[in-house]
Amino acid sequence: MNIRLNGTEQSVADGASVSTLVSQLTGRSIGPDGRAADGQKLGVAVARNAEVVPRSQWHATALADGDDVELVTAVQGG
């Protein structure tokens, strides 16, 4: 299926969870609680169709075809 990730079309496995997507993009292993398995902070957040998905729900939230996903992090800014 296809989703829009940060404004770009992307194909993901059918039924993939938010957790799977975040793990693929960041290259980090993520536990069921939405935290990095290495214990370090991830520093990212996800909005799906303009609604924040709390990290505690990443694991249980399946992506759907056509979803609009934003994955953000902290960058330099005043």
Partner 1 sequence: MNETTLAGSPARPAAGALADPFVVDGVTLGSRLIMGTGGAPSLDGLGAALLASGTELTTVAMRRYSPAETGSLFQLLVDHNIRVLPNTAGCFTAKDAVLTAELAREALETDWVKLEVIADEHTLLPDAVELVDATEQLVARGFKVFAYTNDDPVLALRLENLGATAVMPLGAPIGTGLGILNPHNIELIVSRASVPVVLDAGIGTASDAALAMELGCDAVLLATAVTRAQNPALMGEAFKHAVIAGRLAKAAGRIPRREHALASSAMEGRAEFL
What whole-number distance in Å separates Cα of residue 39 and Cα of residue 50? 28
CB 1 to partner 1: min, Å: 21
Rg (CA), the chain: 12
Q: How far is the CB of 37 from partner 1 (least distance, A)?
A: 17
Nearer to partner 1, 27 or 29 (CB): 27
- Kindly tell me which of 14 and 50 has the beta carbon lying closer to partner 1: 50
DSSP-derived secondary structure letter, 34: S
Contacting residues toward partner 1, per CB under 8 A: 6-7, 25-27, 41-47, 50, 52, 54-55, 70-78
From CA 55, how far away is CA 58, in angstroms rounded? 5
